[in-house]
């Protein structure tokens, strides 16, 4: 069997587009040449791989689907092998792709790491929905992800890094300012400045309100910490502010209230695909994140 990598690459494109003409256009080769290549591949495999509809349209049969899955796995192994080979050149030539639903803490973390590893390259994706995190991890678009909620997927490992308290931020002069602690139900009738619904932290704070016996009266929604704090200062409502935000956003003059009931905390999770190869740079940064954030918990 003398199958070539190019043959298998072309097979994947034909399988995806289910149209020989469109596949040939995408691959920039003549359609007759591509058709001959697919016929030759079927001869080498020994069974038909496609169901054909006319001269141009086709669809994978059951044998073709099985064959395609094996090819995908093989190419994934090959890519990981190439990554490992390149990795032998050392940590400093590496790159790391991060996804994050909670990025407020990342600048200081990057700064601390890059001081010692200036040649490691980073790419950061701001991710909002849990489904997007899972898809990007499984597809190999990101290496690691920091999130406010765990990812429930067997192929993905989720490690709790740190737990932080979430306080209630209230406007200057609020009736509860100066309290040692409050019950969340005490402000049930007051307006809230909330994160937007796709944020993991929003789901967590919604649950706090449900535990306190009410649904928040939402006056304004934003994904920007500065906007939220500014609106609270102006007296448009109260807001849930995680501990880590208080040092990085202008929270001067805001009332910072500890919530006794219910307990208001969140966990920051680090996720990666269990059996996927991680480069030396990614492994090293993962170790650094675990060390830095678990020490702050």
pLDDT digits (tens, 9 = 90+) for 28-42: 899 889 889 988 899
The residue length of the chain stands at 297
Q: The pTM is what? A: 0.65
Q: Which residue has the higher pLDDT, 79 or 64?
A: 64
Q: What percent of the chain has pLDDT over 70?
A: 92
Confidence at residue 1, expressed as pLDDT on a 0 to 100 scale: 46
Measured between alpha carbons, how far is 295 from 279 in angstroms, rounded to an integer? 24
For the stretch 46-68, pLDDT in tens is 899 988 887 778 889 999 899 88
> Domain limits of the chain?
5-87, 91-161+267-296, 165-266
Q: Are 130 and 269 in contact (CB under 8 A)?
A: no
Range 91-161+267-296: architecture per CATH: 3-Layer(aba) Sandwich (3.40)
Six token digits for residue 244: 């880590």
The encoded tokens of residue 50 equal 């496609």
Topology alike, domains 5-87 and 91-161+267-296: no
Give the CATH fold of the 5-87 domain.
Answer: Arc Repressor Mutant, subunit A (1.10.10)
Q: Which CATH superfamily is domain 165-266 in?
A: Periplasmic binding protein-like II (3.40.190.10)
Separation of alpha carbons 94 and 116, rounded Å: 14
3-state secondary structure of 101: coil
Q: Is the pLDDT of residue 5 over 60?
A: yes
């Amino acid at each position: 069997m003398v199958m070539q990598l190019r043959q298998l690459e072309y097979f994947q494109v034909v399988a995806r587009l289910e149209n020989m003409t469109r596949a040939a256009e995408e691959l920039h080769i003549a359609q007759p040449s591509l058709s001959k290549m697919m016929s030759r591949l079927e001869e080498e495999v020994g069974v038909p791989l496609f169901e054909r509809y006319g001269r141009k349209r086709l669809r994978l049969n059951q044998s073709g689907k099985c064959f395609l899955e094996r090819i995908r796995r093989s190419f994934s192994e090959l890519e990981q092998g190439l990554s490992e080979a390149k990795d032998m050149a050392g940590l400093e030539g590496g790159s790391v792709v991060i996804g994050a639903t909670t990025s407020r803490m990342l600048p200081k973390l990057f700064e601390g790491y890059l001081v010692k590893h200036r040649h490691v390259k980073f790419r950061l994706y701001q991710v909002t929905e849990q489904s997007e995190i899972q898809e990007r991890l499984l597809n190999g678009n990101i290496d690691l992800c920091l999130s406010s909620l765990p990812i429930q997927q067997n192929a993905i490992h989720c490690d709790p890094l740190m737990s932080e308290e979430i306080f209630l931020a209230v406007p200057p002069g609020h009736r509860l300012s100066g309290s040692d602690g409050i019950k969340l139900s005490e402000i049930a009738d007051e307006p809230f400045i909330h994160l937007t619904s796709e944020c993991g932290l929003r789901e967590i704070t919604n649950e706090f309100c449900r535990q306190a016996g009410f649904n928040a009266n939402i006056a304004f929604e934003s994904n920007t910490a500065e906007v939220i704090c500014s609106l609270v200062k102006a007296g448009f409502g109260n807001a849930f502010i995680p501990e880590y935000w208080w040092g990085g956003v202008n929270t001067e003059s805001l009332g910072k209230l500890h919530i006794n009931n219910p307990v208001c905390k969140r966990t920051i999770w680090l996720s990666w695909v269990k059996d996927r190869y991680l480069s030396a740079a990614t492994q090293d940064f993962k170790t650094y994140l675990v060390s830095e954030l678990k020490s702050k918990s």
